[in-house]
Amino acid sequence: MSAAKASVTPRGIMTKITSEEMAADILNPFKDVLLKGGIDDKFLIKQLKSEFRSKEPKIIKIKGAVNPESLPRGYKIVGQSGEVIHCADGGQDYSDGETIIEYQVKNIGVSQRARMDVHKLRGDYPAVKQSIEFPDENGKPQDVNGLEIATRLAYLLNEANRRKNESNGSNTDSESDN
């Protein structure tokens, strides 16, 4: 059972959130930043689709001349060296140099990582248990859940701010004495 707390949206509408949702918000502060930056679900889907379709160029070098019309679809000549002799009757071209041909192949590495990302986002992999241990008064580690972690984190942040403000306040007091 989780205690529901009231929350006010930017438009002033009261909503109820659970303590687990509050802990998740504290432990994952980048969600709002990503959404404000335009990285939402639609953007991620579009990027994943482009990664699935990604291709990379492959280059091969062939001795002699190659007729561009004889190349398969998707292959193109990107460079030739030496002197090319074209036959008048449209037959085989000859060259004393080399021909560089480029073609596109599927980028398996990028597609594989994109597939793994989709499985992670869907939750298909088993969850990885993460534990954060806080010592008790005797220094022994305690088992804590997400809400307790968030509460302790908020407490530690407040204490750090209080100490910072106290140290800034004591510096200004000592400067005013001079």
What does pLDDT average to in each consecutive run of 10 residues of the chain (178 residues)? 49 65 69 78 88 93 83 91 75 78 94 88 75 68 67 81 82 47
In a domain, 153, yes or no: yes
Say how far apart CA 89 and CA 135 lie, in whole Å: 88
Residue 95: per-residue pLDDT? 74
In a domain, 11, yes or no: no
Residue 1: per-residue pLDDT? 41
Which residue segment(s) compose the domain that 143 sits in?
135-172
Residue 168 DSSP SS3: helix
Q: Choose one of 63, 89, 106: the last residue of a domain.
A: 106
Domain check: are 61 and 99 in the same one?
A: yes
In a domain, 151, yes or no: yes
CB of 141 within 8 A of CB of 133? yes
How many domains in the chain? 2
Residue 124: per-residue pLDDT? 82
In a domain, 12, yes or no: no
Residue 11: per-residue pLDDT? 56
In a domain, 31, yes or no: no
CB of 103 within 8 A of CB of 57? yes
Residue 9: per-residue pLDDT? 55
Q: Using a cut of 0.75, tell me whether the model's pTM lies above it.
A: no
- Give the residue from 62, 60, 58, 59 showing the smallest Cα distance to 98: 62
Residue 36: per-residue pLDDT? 79
In a domain, 129, yes or no: no
In a domain, 7, yes or no: no
Domain check: are 102 and 142 in the same one?
A: no
In a domain, 22, yes or no: no
Residue 159: per-residue pLDDT? 85
